[in-house]
Amino acid sequence: MPAAVSDPLPDLFKSEFDALQEAREILALPQAEAQVYKHSLAQMSAHFERLVRETRRLIGRSDRAEREMNTLNAQLSILARQLEHRATHDALTGVLNRGAIIEQTTNTLLKVGVAMIVLDIDHFKRVNDEFGHPAGDAVIQGIVGCLRRIVGEGGLIGRVGGEEFTVLLPGGNLEEGLEVAEAMRAAIATQVFMRPVNRPVTASFGVSAHPAGTGFDLAYGSADAALYRAKRSGRNRVVADGAP
């Protein structure tokens, strides 16, 4: 016969069960002296006190573990939100990154029409070449500040390239898109950029509007073509999709 496998975990309450069994045996005696009962009662009392102490200790540890678990869950929740934000937002400006603005636009076009604005900072390479990339980053952040002031809560802003941005206006039409784009163009043109740049910076805009069901490529391509015409016609201007 195979040898019996012993329980690897010791019985935590063996001494208590032994004391209980001894008390039962004493109770089963037809006659016993008072001293025997007293001794048995003292043992039972001692074991009960130990159980109370252990129970309190275990409850205390359980409460601490629960508090630590709640704290850990809260930290994990914060970390998850931070990771999600980093995965969908541009690190320099805090606006949506390329993948996120494409996804948002695609999802929005499934439900409603949109006005789409594509803008590009004019002669941005000169800023980097003349003043360095830190100055260029400061210019980008300043321009994003202009965009946020104009767009507010009514639209979404995404950085799709180094100096290129997309603004999405859910439910917007071409007229609204042109109005918002012109407001952003004027805000950027009058923005004061501090040293070492210390000169105006402008941007060019292309605007298109599309009904629900339009694909992202068509919506973006139309606005981007209008932006290209704005660049060719002198920059620092707004051009609508289809305009000569």
Residues tagged active-site: 163
Question: Could you give the CA distance from residue 191 to residue 14 in angstroms, rounded to a whole number?
Answer: 81
Which residue's structure tokens are 């309190």?
Answer: 56
CB 66 within 8 A of CB 60: no
CB 158 within 8 A of CB 119: no
